[in-house]
Each structure stands twice: as structure tokens, then as C-alpha cells.
Amino acid sequence: MFVDTHCHLNQMNLDEELPRIREARVTKMIAIGYDLTSSKEAVRIAEGNEGIYAAVGFQPTELHSFQSGDLERIRALASSQKVVAIGEIGMDYHYEDTNKPLQREKFVEQIELAKELKLPVCIHSRDDAEDMLNLLKEERSKLIFGGVMHCYSHSREMVKSFVDLGFYLAFGGTVTYKNAKKVAESAREVPLDRILTETDSPYLPPVPHRGERNTPAFIPIIAEKLAALREMETERFAEIVMKNTKALFGI
């Protein structure tokens, strides 16, 4: 049995995809919100499907759509029993027009919301490694319900720092790319009780499906690669990931 801890199910035709996903033995998925509309859709999908859960929040590059009162609307969505995390939230310095103060402000507000609601956080972190680590250290007292570094892309050397803060690290299709040696090194470094699998579908499909739309049905490919990096049988690795998923998200 496999689990996808980060997928954007609102961007795919579930009537077509769900049979394929079930056939791949992916039994648990977390539909991730990245703004108000997608968070609403994630909750709707989760509430209508067994084995699917939701995370709600504002991703840093989507803050252009953030309006007064949206944090309260996210709080209301999180009242659903199928919501298991606040996310994806975080910071992203990839683009030149990044408003770093705004990203930080809304990130911290959503961390505080997660603490209030006793939920873990799902963190988006891109090209901001040092600032992200420093902020999480500053906000450590608010992160008592843990979280995951989604699609981990920082260095192997930083793995321990994030783990020491109580975080899990999730890996997706990039771990199968030949030019992503840093990701593979990090995947070897993470303690087995802190590793998770994800697709970030419909983005970042694994080899040999690059150029296609990603899907949770590809999780077994990702799990197989991660297991090989750890010199383990895929089924045993999948069992550990399922246990880790339950430990963090309660599912």
C-alpha cells in the first residue's frame, strides 16, 4: 500500500484518475490547497472520497489573490474532519518580483493558525534555505504539531537541521532525475522515521514519465527509487512511509 502526501487533485479528472490510482495500490492521498479556491476544492474532494484527506492554506506565490478575511475562511475550512494540515504554506524566492516581507507575514500567520487548530504544517520552500531555516527556528515554539518540508530540495547538510526541528521530509519525482543528485543525497540522509512520499501532481512526473501529467498513480515508481537509495525492499519502505504518514497526519 502506498501514500501520496502531496497532490493537487483539483487539477485532474478524478473520474478518470481514481481507478488508475487505486490499481496502483495508492490507498491514501492528501489533496493540497494553495489558495482559497483550491483549498475549498481540496476539502470537497476529501469529503467525497474514502482515503483522501485535505490541507488548506495559501502558497507563497499565490498571495496575489489573498484578501482581507481569507485567513478566517481558511480557518473555517479547516473545521472539516478530513483536513489534516495547514498547507501548502511557506516562502519562495525563485521569482524576481518576490515580496519577501509579505510572504513571511502570511507564513507566520498560518503557522500560528496551525498551532491554534493543533494541525501540522505542509511547507513550500524554494530558493530560500537559510531564511527558511532561521524562521522555523524563530517560530519553533509554534510548531509543536510538526510538519513536512514538501518536495525537499535543499542540501544534504541541512537535512539534520530540519529533522531536529521536528520536520518530516517528503520526496517526489525529482528523486528519479539524473541531474538531481542533491535530492538523492538528501533522501539517503533522512532518518527512515522522517521520510514521506509525494507526487506534487500534476507537476514533476518521475522518470520514465517526464513530459506527461503527473498522477498519484506514479507513487510506486517514486517509492521504488527511494527504497533503492536506502537499499531496501520497496514494500518494506512503503510500510515505513505509511507509518510515518499516520504519525504526522493521524491518517
What is the per-residue pLDDT across 201-235, written as a single tens digit (0 to 9) for each?
A: 999 999 999 999 999 999 999 999 999 999 999 99
CB-count exposure of residue 68 (10 Å: 0-12, 13-18, 19+): exposed
Contact 233, 187 (CB under 8 A): no
Number of domains in the chain: 1
pLDDT at 97: 85
Sequence-separated (6 or more) residues with CB below 8 Å from residue 92: 59, 60, 61, 98, 103, 124, 125, 126, 127, 128
Q: Is the pLDDT of residue 96 over 90?
A: no
Pairing of strands 2-7, 195-197: unpaired
Contact 46, 52 (CB under 8 A): yes
Closest CA to 201 of 2, 3, 7, 5: 7
pLDDT at 90: 98
CATH number of the domain bearing residue 63:
3.20.20.140
Question: Which structural domain range is residue 175 located in?
Answer: 2-249
pLDDT in tens, 18-50: 999 999 999 999 999 999 999 999 999 999 999
Q: pLDDT band at 200, cuts 50/70/90? A: very high
The rounded distance, in Å, linking the Cα atoms of 204 and 213 is: 8
Q: Determine what percent of the chain is predicted with pLDDT higher than 70.
A: 100
The rounded distance, in Å, linking the Cα atoms of 241 and 178 is: 24
Mean pLDDT of the chain: 97
